[in-house]
Structure 1
Amino acid sequence: MQQAHRNRTEVTFAGRENHPPGYIRYRCPPQIGGTVASGEGPVISSNKTCTVIRGRYLNTSKAATGIEGLDDILAGGLSRSHVFLLEGEPGTGKTTVALQFLQAGAAAGEISLYITLSETESELRSGAASHGWELDEHINIFELTPPESLLDADHHQSLLYSSDLELGEATRQIFEVVERVKPTRVVIDSLSEIRLLAQSSLRYRRQILAIKHYFTRYNATVLLLDDLTTEALDKTVHSVAHGVIRLEALTPTYGAERRRLKIVKYRGQKYRGGFHDFTIAENGIHVFPRLVAAEHRSNYSRSQLSSGIPELDNLLGGGIEGGSSTLILGPAGTGKSLISLVFAVQAVARGERVGLFIFDEEMGLLFERMLKLG
């Protein structure tokens, strides 16, 4: 069986010889996120369905977020039919992540639903357009806001009710639109409004549990957004959600603003822990997973690396040993940068790749000085 969506080819292998001509038979890789070699074609599996999206293996038991770095951290994406919490203060990128999550579902032909209690539909569409996205017929937006009749002077105080009646009405509307749309992916934005409606922590917890059990029956993958605007840090949803992702925006005294995320919990799944930097660009979120030294070890030669200066090589016993670390010390103007760069030039001449990290000097000025030295 073959199903084609945008940038996606799915093939399920049903027998030893029963596969389309020209396809190469593979088993699903033991780890998600591996790279498909060029020209090898789609994946065919004898035990489960694998998916190739833009040359990468994905496990179809997980809903890809559409953010490559985040999917790598989550080992493929969010486990389907579960509820996840995405939390962060206003402006940290929650809505952008949520829209990208729904865009990934739409690209795979899935029906999605965005339930908003805080932003209008026009604001969401405008935000999506700023990233070059068009919310097509696969993405439904349900704006859960009070009717216009409540905006007059006599009813302005009732925009958000705290009674059981209004909380139940909001929940009923959510369930009704889900029954009508039958989505595979759902975003609820945000929990702050539901928390205000609930008024008490006990009622709020019961409501979140009811939402969780309801969507589990419908096999929907749900992303709950929380802007952390309450005075006390509320951990109610942490214990209920299958996974928790936290977004942060840091503004240091010196230097540029920094954004980072952390997987707080992910039940029964392996994930890359720690903080991971990310940026919000015109085309969406870009996540840069934290590097783990053990994953980047490679074989290297223990041979001496020459500087190209015979006298210096003689002092070093033939050069710097491959795989070692060398510190060059000296006051300003003694040639530290020059000595390090002659090793880099020789490495390039041998056909090796060189990484150059500069903190105190502008790149163009450095190259200009080196050109003058020949």
Structure 2
Amino acid sequence: MGEAPRTPSFASTGVTGLDDILNGGFKEGNLFLLEGTPGTGKTTIAISFLMAGAEKGERGLYITLSETAEELRDGMASHGWEMHDLISIFEVTPPEALLEADQQQSLLYSSDLELGETTTAILGEFARVQPKRVVIDSLSEIRLLAQSSLRYRRQILAFKHYFARHNATVLMLDDRTAEVEDKTVHSVAHGVVKLEELSPDYGAERRRLKIAKYRGQSFRGGYHDFTIRTGGVTVYPRLVALEHRTEFSRKQRTSGVPGLDKLLGGGVEQGSSVLILGPSGTGKSLYAFQFITAAIARGEKAALFVFDEELGLLFGRVRAMGIDLEAMRASGSLHVEQVDAAELSPGEFAHRVRTSVDELQAKTVVIDSINGYQAAMPEENALTLHIHELLQYLNRQGANTFLTVAQHGLVGDMKAPVDVTYLADTVILLRYFEAFGRVRRAVSVIKKRTGAHEESIREYRLGSTGLMVGEPLEDFQGVLRGVPTFAGTAGPLLNSDLSGDE
């Protein structure tokens, strides 16, 4: 009988989210490549990798050919890290004698000799420290010393076999500064992690990574956003809704506004998404806030993500309509986040929404608005895919999601910046219309996947008592076009003096 296959053990990267993408981390005893242009976070990830090992009692060795040991320590201090006793820094530099005036000609000695001396120094330090984890920073220096692709490949292979015999996990960094892109190490390495930095026309830089290769190991493919902040690198794994499912009973969730609940056929089903569509000023946010108020009244928790409005102004505006969001937040029932689209990547935003559901147990999530969400996207054509995965995930967790979209225009044929009506389970359409010399508002439900709904159009008003939805406008034709024709009495119209805005 043959031997049972050995279960691989993994070395944690020390980076939140990266181990999840790698399905455990780096396989111990192998060589990995971490590549990216300068400033993408290679050194920060490498130090995190060594610190994660030190916390487990494993010795680590950082071999630097480009930065000084002092620069590395300064970088660690900027993240609030202290050098662990189990981590050694080995600075590979020319002998001081080479920098003296009377020894300048020595700088021109053979690269063969220099590469050999560098290799000997690295292996000698490894033998002295006997580390479990090794970082070599960076390969561009070794590539320059090798001069030819053949000698470079042979040198990397020599390192690989030597470290493998000693069961060390090695992370090699490459800053991709070579004039010609060299894929030599890609074929030699057990796995390759690529880091990228994107510079949008406006706003902060965006960073993302992907696993280009990992032999014999499944991993989460595609690009994943990550950030570098004080404390290190945080990676936000791409959300895959199919990986998450929670059992729950599907109940009707009401808004607390009788006319709106009648229009929705009793309410919205738990674990479904609602899109609230309309021009600016029609009250899209207020409709969503009604469901937040109703959820908290039932004893549930809710989360609100605001892209378009300053929170102080928002709290004051809706308080005048009888909804005290600030008090709900103070009680711990409502989680509110002001989202800056210019500073936030889509992956980080999805992570924040997911955290509100997983950790805070929010069952009602409001994203106000998709227009602001779109501004956070580096590529507009990926927006619907991001929203699709996010909505599917929230639905599978039994949460109700409310999205608002501001359409261009006021009456007549209006366009939305992005069409996500096919993604939502329910679509609430808000419109302005003119009747008897006044601008009025109308609401209708044009889609509901999870049950029957009214096909009527109802007038609504916004005021100090909040949202008021009237009876169906059966005596009007053309309300959705904005200029209806009257075919009956004015009875169904709301004639109170309520006033307000969105």
Q: TM-score range by the shorter chain?
A: 0.7 to 0.9
1:198 alignment counterpart: 146
Change (3 A) 1:85 1:355: same
CA contact (8 A) 1:279 1:287 kept: yes
| TM-score, with length taken from structure 2 | 0.60
Q: Which residue of 2 aligns with 1:316?
A: 264
1:269 matched residue in structure 2: 217
- More off after superposition, 95-104 vs 343-352: 343-352
User: What is the alpha-carbon distance in structure 2 between the residues aligned to residue 300 and residue 366 of structure 1?
Assistant: 33
**Counterpart mapping for 1:264-343 below 5 A:** 264-343=212-291
- Per the alignment, in what secondary structure is the counterpart of residue 328 of structure 1? strand
Letter in 1 for 2:31: V
Query: What's the counterpart of residue 86 of structure 1?
Result: 34
CA contact (8 A) 1:313 1:319 kept: yes
Residue 186 of structure 1 corresponds to 134
Give the TM-score, by structure 1 length.
0.80
Q: Amino acid of the residue matched to residue 173 of structure 1? A: A
Q: Residue 114 of structure 1 contacts residue 140 of structure 1 at CA under 8 Å; is this kept in 2?
A: yes
> Where does 1:64-103 land on structure 2 (aligned, <5 Å)?
64-103=12-51
Secondary structure of the residue that 2:303 maps to in structure 1?
coil
Quick one: structure 1 residues 158 and 328, their matched pair in 2 at CA, closer, same or farther if it must change by over 3 Å?
A: farther
Matched-pair contact (CA < 8 Å) for 1:162–1:199:
no
Query: Which residue does the alignment assign to 1:364?
Result: 312
Decide whether aligned partners of structure 1 residues 129 and 144 sit closer, same or farther in structure 2, where only a CA change above 3 A counts: same
How much identity, in percent, do the aligned residues show?
A: 68
| Residue identity opposite 1:238 in structure 2 | H
Cα drift, residue 169 of structure 1: 1.4
| 1:145 to partner: Cα distance | 0.6
Q: The residue matched to 1:85 in structure 2 has which SS? A: strand
Partner of 1:169: 117
Judge conservation of contact 1:102–1:185 (CA < 8 Å) in 2.
Answer: yes
Change (3 A) 1:122 1:265: same
- Residue segments in structure 1 that go unaligned for 5+ positions in a row: 1-46, 48-58
Partner-residue secondary structure (3-state), 1:354? strand
The answer for the alignment partner of 1:123 in structure 2 is 71
Show CA shifts across 1:219-249 (max 9, x none).
0000000000012221110100001111112
Give 1:11's aligned residue. Answer: none
Q: For the residues of structure 1 that align with 2:12 and 2:147, how far apart are their CA atoms?
A: 34
CA RMSD of aligned residues (A): 2.2
Please state whether the residue corresponding to 2:63 is helix, strand or coil: strand
Q: Which residue pairs with 1:61 in the alignment?
A: 9
Pick which of 81-90 and 141-150 moved more.
141-150
Q: Which amino acid aligns with 1:348?
A: I
Larger displacement relative to structure 2 (80-89 or 142-151): 142-151
User: What is the one-letter code of the residue matched to 1:74?
Assistant: L
Measured after TM superposition, the shift of residue 321 of structure 1 is: 2.5
- Extract unaligned runs of 5+ from structure 2: 323-502
1:161 Cα offset (Å): 6.6
Note if contact 1:81-1:216 (Cα within 8 Å) is conserved in structure 2.
yes
Larger relative strand fraction: 2
For 2:175, which of 214, 227, 230 is the aligned residue?
227
Distance apart, 1:304 and its partner CA: 2.0
Cα distance in 2 for partners of 1:160, 1:313 equals 83
Q: 1:288 and 1:338, CA in 2 relative to 1: closer, same or farther beyond 3 A? A: same
In 1, the alpha carbon distance for the partners of 2:309 and 2:240 equals 28
**How far does residue 353 in structure 1 lie from its aligned partner after superposition?**
3.3
Give CA deviations for 1:237-274 in whole Å, capped at 9, x if unaligned. 01000011111121101232211111111111121111
Quick one: distance in 2 between partners of 1:194 and 1:246?
A: 19
Quote the Cα distance in structure 1 between the aligned partners of 2:84 and 2:193: 27
Amino acid at match of 1:235: K
